[in-house]
Structure 1
Amino acid sequence: MEFDRHRRLRSSAAMRRLVREHRWTPDDLVYPMFVQEGLSGKEEIASMPGVYHLGLDAFRREVEEVSELGLPGILLFGIPLEKDEHSTSAYAEHGIVQEAVRAAKAINPDLLVMTDVCLCQYNPAGHCGIVQDGKIVNDPSLKLIAETALSHAAAGADVVAPSDMMDGRVAAIRALLDEHGYVDTTILSYAVKYASAFYGPFREAAHSSPAFGDRRTYQMDPANVREALREAASDLAEGADMLMVKPALSYMDVTKSIRDNFDVPVSTYNVSAEYSMVKAAANHGWIDERGIVTEMLTSFKRAGADFIFTYHAKDAARWYKEEG
């Protein structure tokens, strides 16, 4: 009887490495960080073991560690002392994100500093746009979103990443950046951001739970894929340089669809609950954390992601170095 002997190509670790189709390295990973105004030191986020709210002093030490591990970039989320209906702290010259950008660049000018551009952490309603008469209004929000991106660029951010999902935000940001001479500032759009239950722990981390309603009128329906292609096409037409799919784990089919249809860099965000589920199971001894995380990262690459936002980034970089 004749049959194919596929196992020949799995016969040893060296053979498996030789024929491996997809790989991740620390060069593919971006580490999200939460910087809190007025905080001294750091405080662990209860629902995200190993992830912290960082004061600027602790943030500086964290940037040094990230740099030593060889990670190419970080993504900043800010938690302000004060919130108001105009999200003033989001675009303040000396806001917490703006100061963190300056601090990171002072420590490591070569580190890619990316900033989340949104209003939800900065207003009492906890929504990503301006609220008027109980509604999240699109067009009045664009000016403040663009001003926020501009303030990040002025502080030295390499990449601004709008996550608000207001229509037209990329065009508004690109126009304002160019008008002020920041033509080289890159826009990474959260083009495909779903209204997901996987964001639960992040709401605690960013102090951004909605005070009323939910975000389903502006974030995408998890059932839709064709809509993702329309969102991505619109953002590219408006001036986005790179695209993101968020969340990662349950949306790898969407990542593949974006990768197959567009030739710009594509990222995916391994979000808070995806992280927390792994950490909780690992802390109970139910899973091999290292094995699970490395398999997940490989799957994101296999789906087509060029780079990955993940809270596992530091651990993954250490594991990679241990493996030589």
Structure 2
Amino acid sequence: MFFPQFRARRIRGSEIFRRMVRETSLSVNDLIYPMFSAFGNGPRKEISSMPGIYQQSIADIVVEAREVYALGIPAVILFGIPETKDAVGSDAYSDTGIIQETIRALKKEVPGLAVITDVCMCEYTDHGHCGIIKDGDVDNDATLELLAKEALSHVQAGADMVAPSDMMDGRVAAIREILDDNGYDAIPIMSYAVKYASGYYGPFREAADSTPQFGDRRSYQMDPANRLEALREAAADIEEGADIIMVKPGLPYLDILRDLRNDYNLPLAVYNVSGEYSMIKAAALNGWIDEERVVMETMLGFKRAGADIIITYHAKDVARWLKK
């Protein structure tokens, strides 16, 4: 019988050798944990479609943030649920807004944890869209001014990084300009550079109470069929001053992650979004999959595709599993 000179199983047969030649690694330093902050002192409200994830008070956010920091996770990204909403999302850029108050509490109580903020209007507008409405659609340029104000208010409250997710044309440049003009030229921007109009966001809209009251977001988020457009979007944000570029969602767009990794040398983030989390959780709760194995395989998939940073609701579990 003929045997080939190369036999893959010679290496695969030993755990030590498998570890030595492993091409992709995952670290707790790769993780960002999303959190949802709301005013009030009532009990935490679990998001029904996202088991283990909560809308919670600032006090409870601080408690969980201590847990996150103790696990070695370097950063959280904050989303806010305001007490009141209006047509122009006033709470988004209010000095006493929910995110601004949460930032101050976190920087005081957990100073070693990096605080990143989502910069968008959808959680704060009564219509649920990501900006100012004019003639039935979001007015791009009118929205830029408010996004810039929102980002500045977050940084003034103590945010370490801002992450615009709205997908307005020119928003990175507008935010970079206002931060620089106010002496915050050292604050980095992580841009949701490639954000698709995706069905995977469904559970998040419950979590952030941000479902559009009419229409959808296809006029400003990307068509899932488009690949080359992702390169143009990333190039535009880099030119405007983005320090990190992001792909959202993650699992259906691993090809886009690889395209960006091949074309650009900036740090690359991926958002493992709510729908992806919920599908794994639902299957695990039904006993259909091994949750730890599937989650860790998913994280390695993001890393293998080229991601440096993974924003994921699984972050706390991943951090624990990595310590085994």
**TM-score > 0.5 by shorter chain:** yes
Is 1:285 the equivalent of 2:287? Answer: yes
C-alpha distance in 1 between matches for 2:274 and 2:28: 19
Q: Match of 2:91, as an amino acid?
A: S
Task: Kindly state the Cα deviation for residue 132 of structure 1 after the two structures are TM-superposed.
Answer: 1.5
* SS of 1:121 mapped into structure 2: coil
* SS of 2:189 mapped into structure 1: strand
Q: Match of 1:218, as an amino acid?
A: Y
Residue 80 of structure 1 contacts residue 95 of structure 1 at CA under 8 Å; is this kept in 2?
Answer: yes
Q: 1:96 aligns with which of 78, 98, 110?
A: 98
Q: 1:176 aligns with which of 164, 175, 178?
A: 178
* SS of 1:308 mapped into structure 2: strand
Task: Kindly state the Cα deviation for residue 248 of structure 1 after the two structures are TM-superposed.
Answer: 0.4
Q: 1:219 aligns with which of 218, 221, 229?
A: 221
Q: CA RMSD in A?
A: 0.8
Give matches, 1:22-41, under 5 Å.
22-41=24-43
* SS of 1:67 mapped into structure 2: helix
C-alpha distance in 1 between matches for 2:40 and 2:242: 33
Is 1:203 the equivalent of 2:205? Answer: yes
Task: Kindly state the Cα deviation for residue 39 of structure 1 after the two structures are TM-superposed.
Answer: 4.5
C-alpha distance in 2 between matches for 1:260 and 1:103: 40
Give matches, 1:242-321, under 5 Å.
242-321=244-323
Could you tell me which residue of structure 1 aligns to residue 161 of structure 2?
A: 159
Q: Deviation digits for residues 65-108 of structure 1, max 9, x if unmatched?
A: 00110101000000000111111000000111111111111122
Q: Match of 1:219, as an amino acid?
A: Q
Q: Deviation digits for residues 145-198 of structure 1, max 9, x if unmatched?
A: 000000000011111000000000000000000111111111000000000000
Residue 63 of structure 1 contacts residue 107 of structure 1 at CA under 8 Å; is this kept in 2?
Answer: no
* SS of 2:18 mapped into structure 1: helix
* SS of 1:154 mapped into structure 2: helix
Q: Which moved more, 1:171-180 or 1:6-15?
A: 6-15
Q: Match of 2:242, as an amino acid?
A: A
Residue 31 of structure 1 contacts residue 314 of structure 1 at CA under 8 Å; is this kept in 2?
Answer: yes
Residue 88 of structure 2 contacts residue 131 of structure 2 at CA under 8 Å; is this kept in 1?
Answer: no
Q: Deviation digits for residues 229-252 of structure 1, max 9, x if unmatched?
A: 000000011111110000001100
Is 1:146 the equivalent of 2:153? Answer: no
Q: 1:239 aligns with which of 238, 241, 251?
A: 241
C-alpha distance in 2 between matches for 1:119 and 1:297: 29
C-alpha distance in 2 between matches for 1:82 and 1:220: 29
Q: Deviation digits for residues 4-55 of structure 1, max 9, x if unmatched?
A: 2111110121111111000111111100000012253311100000000010
* SS of 1:190 mapped into structure 2: strand
In structure 1, the gaps of 5 or more residues are none
In structure 2, the gaps of 5 or more residues are none
Residue 62 of structure 2 contacts residue 110 of structure 2 at CA under 8 Å; is this kept in 1?
Answer: no
Identity %, equivalent residues:
57
Q: Match of 2:31, as an amino acid?
A: L
Could you tell me which residue of structure 2 aligns to residue 186 of structure 1?
A: 188
C-alpha distance in 2 between matches for 1:57 and 1:268: 29
C-alpha distance in 2 between matches for 1:212 and 1:287: 37
TM-score, normalisation: structure 1: 0.98
* SS of 2:212 mapped into structure 1: coil
Q: Match of 1:116, as an amino acid?
A: D
C-alpha distance in 2 between matches for 1:240 and 1:315: 30
Residue 193 of structure 1 contacts residue 245 of structure 1 at CA under 8 Å; is this kept in 2?
Answer: yes
* SS of 1:302 mapped into structure 2: helix
Q: Match of 2:203, as an amino acid?
A: P
Task: Kindly state the Cα deviation for residue 289 of structure 1 after the two structures are TM-superposed.
Answer: 0.1
TM-score, normalisation: structure 2: 0.98
Q: Match of 2:275, as an amino acid?
A: A
Residue 50 of structure 2 contacts residue 277 of structure 2 at CA under 8 Å; is this kept in 1?
Answer: yes
